[in-house]
Homo-oligomer: A and B are copies of this chain.
Amino acid sequence: MAVDSLRVISDLQELRSLTADTGGAQRIAWSPMWLKSRNWFRHKLEEFPVEHHYDAAGNSWTTLRGDSDRALVLGSHLDSVPNGGWLDGCLGVLAGLEVLRGFAEEFHGRPPITIRLVDWADEEGARFGRSLFGSSAFAGTQTIEADRKRVDRDGVRLEDALHECWVDVERVGDAAAEQRNAGAYLELHIEQGPVLETMGLPLGVVLGTKGVERHAIVFHGQEAHSGSTPMGARRDALAAAAKLALEIRAIARKHADAVATMGSVKTFPGIVTAVVGRCETTLDMRDLEAGVLESMFVEAKAASERFAAEEGCTVAWTKIWSIEPIPFHSHLIALCDEAIRETAGTSHKLPSGPLHDAAEVARANIPTVMMFVQSLNGLSHNKAEDTRVQDLKLAVEGFDRLARKTAKWLMTEMAAG
């Protein structure tokens, strides 16, 4: 096999040494460190017979032209959260580069179909709070009219930060032109969760990305003195919120893969000597089935109203964000499962809780699948993020097998069509 998985690991280590500090990776999109990582990547391309360009949304496209314009697209992202890990995003880009190298070598620079590698711009949304920026522009689902007013914590406008990186907000929609000839999209990523580690498996097939319902829920009761207000005379907003914090777990557990999280609770006045008059919470619910997600939302809302009434409080819901579940392509799921079994002996299919650029590509009706590699301790977005070297090697090999199977499928499809 032409693929050299150790070279991928050595590239990842080189990138870490260039773009991380003692706190972790610092490749925040639209920052000088991010531009540095992209320049480093471009230098890596010098030995390859490829073309390179940035599209209108700042996505970085590397193209190995084939006999056919029909393209197999591999992708991920080089950007990181602040104090991020050494694998999130960049593993997929550098594994993709190694797969592309394999095609270039085997076919002497001219494979039967075109192979493209994309480094999506601003997957994390760490600076402006808008994740999947580049891939949504590609998919035609960008929301630049709503996003252009965003500012970072220093008050810098999104528009100006993009301009510094040669991206014109007026033109980001033009990135959709890159969809042309895309026959399939593959993405390798660390799991960022504990499922594969718990099962003792190195690799898994991703069934799709879960839909998300994300809401701000505020309970209003009555602030009161903790010493002078009898228990029976209280309208305690925290009590209503605490009931909901526990109930959402029961609601999620009715469904195999569903999750529900109260991630933030704020109490007002929030002092030791006062009954909580106002309690602000957030709720994040996810599932791969739209029907399940909808029923969870309905149940949680009804429960919150019941708890508010029990505690003499009122409750108000405000939607923060939502997205539908995005299932991946059934034939590519089968190919990925096959590639994993051939590489690691055993495979496992699981949904992805976190969103990924692959979800946006799938929304553009391009056949898509992702492969997950085990994360240690389920940690990510943290410098402690890690994966065993032997699992990283299996991941590169498995991803290469998937790419070759997918390329064959695209050629068969072309022959049939």
Residues of A participating in the B interface, judged by any CB pair closer than 8 Å: 191-195, 198, 210, 212, 214, 224-231, 233, 236, 238-239, 241-243, 245-246, 249, 252-253, 257-267, 269-276, 279, 282-284, 286, 320, 352-355, 378, 380-381
The 4 closest A-B pairs by CB, nearest first: A227-B353, A193-B228, A226-B261, A242-B242
CB-CB under 8 A from A227, the residues of chain B are 193, 210, 212, 259, 284, 286, 352-355
CA distance A233 to B252 in the complex (A): 13
Q: Which of B193, B229, B267, B381 meets A229, CB within 8 Å? A: B193
Q: Smallest Cβ distance from A241 to chain B, in angstroms?
A: 8
CB-CB under 8 A from A226, the residues of chain B are 259, 261, 263, 284, 286, 353
Say yes or no: A228-B354 contact (C-beta < 8 A), given A245-B239, A245-B242, A265-B267. Answer: yes
| Contact between B230 and A195, CB atoms less than 8 A apart | yes
| Contact between A263 and B276, CB atoms less than 8 A apart | yes
Say yes or no: A267-B264 contact (C-beta < 8 A), given A194-B229, A284-B226, A354-B228. Answer: yes
CA distance A282 to B286 in the complex (A): 31
Residue among A229, A249, A253 with most chain B CB within 10 A: A229
Given known contacts A195-B233, A239-B245, what 5 new A-B pairs fall within 8 Å (CB)? A212-B227, A227-B259, A263-B269, A263-B272, A264-B271
| Contact between B270 and A353, CB atoms less than 8 A apart | no
| Contact between A193 and B245, CB atoms less than 8 A apart | no
CB-CB under 8 A from A231, the residues of chain B are 249, 252-253, 258-260
Q: Smallest Cβ distance from A249 to chain B, in angstroms?
A: 6
| Contact between B264 and A378, CB atoms less than 8 A apart | no
| Contact between B378 and A225, CB atoms less than 8 A apart | yes
Identity of the chain B residue whose Cβ is nearest the Cβ of A258 in the assembled complex: B231
CA distance A353 to B229 in the complex (A): 8
CB-CB under 8 A from A355, the residues of chain B are 227
CB-CB under 8 A from A276, the residues of chain B are 262-263, 265
| Contact between A263 and B259, CB atoms less than 8 A apart | no
Q: Smallest Cβ distance from A383 to chain B, in angstroms?
A: 13
CA distance A279 to B242 in the complex (A): 13
